Amino acid sequence: MKKLTLPYLAGLAAALTLAVAAPAAIAQERTLAVSGSGGIVGEMNTRFFAEPFTAETGIAVERLTSEGSRMAELEAMVNSGRVLWDVMEISASNYPLGVSKGLFEPIDYSKVDPEGLLPPGARAEYGVGAASFSHVLAVRTDQMPEGRMMSSWADFWDVETFPGPRALRNRAEDNLEFALLADGVAEADLYTVLSTEDGLDRAFAKMDEIKPHVTAWWTSGAQSVQLLSDGEVYFGTSYNGRIPPLAQSGLPVEIMWNGGALHTSFVGIPKGTENIEMAHQFIAYRTMNAAQMRQYMAELPYPGFAPGLYDGVAEAVTAIQPTAPANLEAQFSANPEFWGDNLEAIQERWNEWLLE
């Protein structure tokens, strides 16, 4: 209430004294609450999307940081009927979760992408694809044997040729795909294999091989890069956007795109918000504005799907994007539906397997 009252009074006063200033002042009372990651991701989103959006539309954007408990908070809000967010970032794995629990408003594509320019994968029923990110292997090039470079998951599994401590994320998701790739399964067959009991056994059997060589099982992105920079591990997975800053700081580290897991994260609308109209407006800006997105991805390589995004982008910037043609080719697309259905059961087995 307070948030609204002060600008409103200011607006009223302005309207009474300066008729010309009135529209702008009244527009200030319109505020959109956007929930998403904090840190550098939050900063870049504010700088390249929220601020120019406000400048263009007069709608103020309030960014609310939410991390691991975002979905829990959302569910609590939806259940209590007091939804404080108008727009939210939805990570790849949270999308199926929220959809199954009915926590999102459906997207009206006539307001976001009336001409149907976005690729089908970005036009989900309850969210618009806003960013791609990869869960990839990063390697310390200074720890490579002479003249060799890791180029596949089979190499990661090859502890003879590439000795040294390794790190993986402490989740079944993606890791089992990596294991199957190392075991020779084709990208296209990953999820058919994984859907069978035998395929799952095969993935865990492959994981058995690498388990003794994995010294750290990380639980947060920050930790994953810390491990590489501290020299705790020579080869470890991380999110693609976290590696370039590490390299820029002088650490000899490189992404191995081959066999990376490509994910799409969305922006969507929490069920029950009153500002559906404005929310669509912001989502359109966030997902369709190629000019802004280009600036964003130059800082943070999490590109979206805005039409013509790669037009005129410098080669150096393109090279670090997970959706740059060459990188796209090297990776497989993660299947959020599969994990939405199976994560709980498989993660339970994963935990048991870790304790063994």
Partner 1 sequence: MPRIFRHWMLWPALAMLLVFFLMPSVDILRASVMDPELTFRHFERFLERAVYMRVLWHTVEVSFVVAIVCAVIAYPVAYFIVQSPRRVQFLLLLLIFIPLWMSILIRSYAWMVVLGREGVINSLLMGAGLIETPVRMLFTTPAVYVAMIQILLPIQIVTCYSAMSDIDLGLVRAARVLGASPWEATRRVFIPLSLDGTITGMIIVFMLSMGFFITPALLGGRRDLLLANLIEFNVTQLNWGFAAAIALMLLLAAIVGIVVIRLAARLLLRALNGALAR
Q: Select the span of 226-234, 266-274, 292-300, 316-324 touching partner 1 (CB under 8 A).
A: 226-234
- Say if CB 353 and CB 204 are below 8 A apart: yes
Q: Which is nearer to partner 1, 1 or 355 (CB)?
A: 355
CB of 75 to partner 1, least distance (A): 6
HSE at residue 336, side-chain half, CA atoms within 13 A, is: 18
CB of 49 to partner 1, least distance (A): 26
- Say if CB 322 and CB 262 are below 8 A apart: yes
Q: Residue 51, interface with partner 1 (CB under 8 A)?
A: no
Q: Residue 343, interface with partner 1 (CB under 8 A)?
A: yes
Q: Select the span of 3-11, 21-29, 40-48, 67-75 touching partner 1 (CB under 8 A).
A: 67-75
Q: Residue 295, interface with partner 1 (CB under 8 A)?
A: no
Q: Tokens 């989502």 — which residue?
A: 283
Which of 31, 108, 209, 217 is the binder for partner 1 (CB under 8 A)? 217
The DSSP bridge pattern shows strands 60-65 and 104-105 to be unpaired
Q: Which is nearer to partner 1, 47 or 213 (CB)?
A: 213
Alpha-carbon span 244 to 242, nearest angstrom = 6
Q: Which is nearer to partner 1, 66 or 327 (CB)?
A: 66
Neighbour tally for 32: CB within 10 Å: 22
All residues at 6 or more sequence positions from 181 whose CB lies less than 8 Å from its CB, including other chains? 152, 153, 154, 187, 190, 259, 332
Neighbour tally for 103: CB within 10 Å: 24
Q: Select the span of 34-42, 141-149, 214-222, 254-262 touching partner 1 (CB under 8 A).
A: 214-222
CB of 235 to partner 1, least distance (A): 14
- Say if CB 338 and CB 92 are below 8 A apart: no
Q: Residue 352, interface with partner 1 (CB under 8 A)?
A: yes
Longest CA–CA span in the chain (Å) reads: 79
Q: Residue 159, interface with partner 1 (CB under 8 A)?
A: no
Quote the tokens at residue 43: 């900063």
Q: Residue 173, interface with partner 1 (CB under 8 A)?
A: no
Quote the tokens at residue 135: 């869960």
- Say if CB 287 and CB 129 are below 8 A apart: yes
Secondary structure class of 252 (helix, strand, coil)? coil
Q: Residue 65, interface with partner 1 (CB under 8 A)?
A: no
Which of 50, 137, 216, 261 is the binder for partner 1 (CB under 8 A)? 216
Selection from 67, 77, 123 nearest residue 272 by Cα: 77
Number of residues that bind partner 1 (CB under 8 A): 28
The DSSP bridge pattern shows strands 128-140 and 235-239 to be antiparallel
CB of 36 to partner 1, least distance (A): 16
Q: Select the span of 10-18, 194-202, 225-233, 288-296 touching partner 1 (CB under 8 A).
A: 225-233
Q: Which residues bind partner 1 (CB under 8 A)?
A: 68-69, 71-72, 75, 97, 101, 165, 170, 211, 214-217, 219, 223, 226, 230-232, 343-344, 347-348, 351-352, 354-355
